[in-house]
Amino acid sequence: MLLASLSLALVAFDSGGGATHCPDVKACLTDARVDRQNSLGNCGFGLSLFGLDLSLGGPECFGTVYTYPAHEICHGHANPGTLCLYEQRLVITAEKCECSRATLLGTGIFLPECECEFAGNVGTLEDFQTANCASLGQPEPGVRPTPPAAGGAR
């Protein structure tokens, strides 16, 4: 699989004259991210003070929570002797959440909490990797292949 990607990349940046040009760029890590949408407010404890109904405490709850996995992207960041290569697709998931009443085990007490459940694989994103140009063919004179930066490539 990786070999196939490397071969394709070789074709992609071969100038056509047979000499391979190394783009000298690397993939950059993008952290995992959680997006929360549609706040439902706090899943609070309902009570009445001075004639007004209030909901106190409890976690803030969002109707939908999206999780984007950590992945690497190509933003053209310089790195001698390497290139940025497509590796795979990773899935973005969504959860649907709502306030519910949870039981404290053995106490008979019910407390509000925000309960989420898997709602689906809602999309995919591209994950790239850093590869040595040397592994794709003969680099141009003066280009010294370097190992991928620590933490910047898998």
- Which residues contribute to the site for other proteins (CB under 8 A)? 30, 33, 35, 37, 39, 41-42, 45-50, 52-57, 60, 64, 66, 68, 75, 89, 91-92, 94, 107, 109-111, 118-126
**Which lies closer to other proteins via its Cβ, residue 58 or residue 145?**
58
**Which lies closer to other proteins via its Cβ, residue 120 or residue 147?**
120
**Which lies closer to other proteins via its Cβ, residue 123 or residue 147?**
123
- Estimate to the nearest angstrom the gap between the alpha carbon of 95 and the chain centroid: 16
User: Alpha-carbon distance 95 to 67, whole Å?
Assistant: 8
Amino acid present at 56: L
Min CB(37)–other proteins separation in Å: 6
Nearest to 65 by CA among 114, 103, 124: 114
Q: Are β-strands 109-132 and 52-56 bridged in parallel, bridged antiparallel, or unpaired? A: unpaired
Burial environment of residue 125 by CB neighbours within 10 A (0 to 12, 13 to 18, 19 or more): middle
User: Alpha-carbon distance 154 to 150, whole Å?
Assistant: 9
Min CB(74)–other proteins separation in Å: 12
Min CB(10)–other proteins separation in Å: 18
**Which lies closer to other proteins via its Cβ, residue 51 or residue 142?**
51
Min CB(108)–other proteins separation in Å: 9
